[in-house]
Amino acid sequence: MERTLIILKPDAVQRGLTGDIIQRFERRGLKVVALKMLQVERSLAEEHYAIHRERPFYSGLVEYIISSPVVVMALEGKNAVKVARQSIGATNPAEAAPGTIRADFALEIGRNLIHGSDSPENAVNELALWFNESDFAPHTRVSEPWLYE
């Protein structure tokens, strides 16, 4: 099983879309193993977006993610990173495939609702930034034999 980090950004929280988005992941078969709402501290935002530090949009990313509460979660499942990113859709909602979260609920790159880890390696690092090991509640759902061979 693989885990991935998902952040429901301030626009998702402010628009009341958190339940709809979580439901999409669960219906797809991914399991929520950690979940919390928080107001992001600047230092955490800067560390999360450190890869973009030299880019002109870096300060805007940081300011936006700290502007309002977010919901962060860890999803678990086979190929969780790839499956979650397929469900999320392209970064630019105008280019996202129909039926994806961004295609269905977003209009602009700067308000694209959601972050998802882009690789299993980055997922491990990102999850460690946002969660302590004690935050995880691993469990087996009764539906798992109906999801996996």
Active-site annotation holds for 139: no
User: Which residues make beta-bridge pairs with 116?
Assistant: 6
Residue 99, Ramachandran bin (φ over 0: left; ψ between -120 and 50: alpha; else beta): left
CB count in 10 Å sphere of residue 58 = 15
User: How many helices (H) and strands (E) in the chain?
Assistant: 8, 4
Residues 41, 80: contact at Cβ < 8 Å? no
* Cα–Cα dist 98/114, whole Å: 16
Length in residues, the chain: 149
Q: Which residues carry out catalysis?
A: 115
